[in-house]
Structure 1
Amino acid sequence: MSGTSLDGVDAVLAELPAGGGLRVLAHAHLDFPGALRAELLALNHSGPDELHRAAMAGQELARCYAAAIQALGPLPPVRAVAAHGQTVRHRPEWGYTLQLLNPALLAELSGLNVVADLRSRDVAAGGQGAPLVPAFHRAVFGKAGVDIAVLNLGGMGNLSFLHGDGRTLGFDTGPANALLDAWAAHHLDLPFDDGGGWASGGTVQPALLRAFQAEPYFALPPPRSTGRDLFDWPWLQRQPLAGIDPRDVQATLSEFTAWSVADALKRHQPGAVELIVCGGGAFNADLLRRLQARLPGVVLVGSGDRGLPPMQVEAAAFAWLAAAFVRQQPGNLPGVTGARGPRVLGAMYPA
């Protein structure tokens, strides 16, 4: 899995018995080479010779995925590799979502069956193609009779609402690490604000926060999903930033992310008693503190406290989706994505 944070590749070796359950046997993380990360970020927008550049980036990404598989160590017999690819355009309102990858090359390099293109069938059926992880969250974290939410803080934030009566809902809450990391990189020359330490020393600017909150996306009803097509550096540059200390902007961005999550939870699952946090943002102490302050009646816990470390959750989720493909079982939840019905997701590239 490589997500919108563009920090690198997470790989898990997961055992998924047909009767249910999950056991992660190994985990590996590889950072993206700087040039590849820059190119993937650039390909989120139109540019010169982008078809050729996208094809070359897809090949390089396949090599990174193959290296991540190798980093897992000696492998037992593997039924399939789930390969998400790198989202560079997500426009379900126009009928497409684009994840760069060369899955045929990955099958060649790894010698394993590769299941890729896991979002486009849901989009073809009228869905958002995202989020796809709520069904997995239900299988791993759900409890009968208890309202629990699962929050992934990657480049974007997304919530899964696991209602105690068995209903499962979910959608993207808005930006998370994408804007925080971009602002930190611009002003600190660092890939991210470690632990939110820089933001914690800033002061939230109410007028700027209101400007962020005025983005029309937040008024949309679910199903909804978003990405760097909307919340990117140009979006941030269009905000009223003039004269504001950069550290205060970072603090306001952190508060903005906390607000977007808390507002969604209060609107759509006010009975939630627990919020399980995963993704890179689970290590941002400043962001979690702000989130807890906005959700005083909800217990915040890291996914590791519920059996699956934060950086393994999304990779394990796509392994779960690949297992569903291999068994020809639907992987989407139409009530989450808005698709016309359940669909088997993905395409197989044989070893």
Structure 2
Amino acid sequence: MSGPNDNYDPKQVAALSAEALEAMVADAEAAFAAATTTADLKAARLAHVGEKSPIALANREIGALPPAARKDAGQRMGRARGQLNAALAARQADVESAELEAALASESVDVTLPVALAPEGAIHPITGLMDLMSDVFVAMGWEVAEGPEVEAEWLNFDALNIGRDHPARGESDTIFVAPAGVHRVLRTHTSPVQIRSLLERPLPVYVVCPGTVYRADEFDATHVPVFHQIEGLVVDKGITMAHLKGTLDHLAQAMFGDVRTRFRPNYFPFTEPSAEMDLECFVCHGASVGNPDAPCRTCRSEGWIEWGGCGVVNPRVLTAAGIDPEEYTGFAFGMGIERTLMFRNNAADMRDMVEGDVRFSRALKGEAR
């Protein structure tokens, strides 16, 4: 930058001429008008009004002019910069208004629509699975039967041929309702509902009994003191073990798809003959049996997983309900709902089902019908 020069003619300085300043203003106004967003306008401002813009560089030349010429050049520069500031402010107001309108349009809310005032819940998977399993039997023409959870000891044990000295009647397994003389318990299975059905319904009887049951069990990954069962009972003329096998195979396919099943002999006081129903392991499909190189933790390399108990109704149970075992026969079965849920979803810890975390229910909401 040169020093003061009394002979300096400001009209000969191109950057400070009226034509040059008008061209700078015109270019800046065109850039401002072309900006459609705040970011674009900021870039145009820096290019035409910023410290390194043409008009800022021209403004620095005024100081090098002689005093007589500075006034004229300063007035021209002031008018030019005033025009730029006014044009920039007007365009900034237009751009901000347009952006605000676009934001309001994209974020508009229809206040007439219903609003969820609370987080969405979900049917508990246990409840949903009980309904789903009950539907399988309702579709076959069966009825759903229910009964009280505080049950008479006679209905919970004696009528089911469970003798006084049976281990299941001890306090280590059964929760008795005080005082002891009332002979009432928290039902240990839903089998009392079957006895009530035989006492209250006309023959033949085809009922399925889902519900909550209670045991004096520890609370851990595979046991809870309050859990759920679904039991079925058929009493009719000519009922055999083959009818039982066909019924449970149909239930297994409805719950697990194309799965193999088997009956394994067992003992229950209320059925004779009795069996455990096993499902083919859905992890190894039997490939781990006798194969130490590929053990299966799910079935413990046995190839089968226990699902529930079943059998032909013991004649003593029919007699306790006032039914002639020479004329009628039947079958009964019982499965744990939690166990079925674990099989269907590979759930590892039964405690997740009772802790009340809605995320567990949402994750398995497919169990609800």
TM-score by length of 2: 0.21
Query: Which of 1 and 2 has greater Rg?
Result: 2
TM-score by length of 1: 0.22
Higher relative contact order (CA 8 A, sep 6+): 1
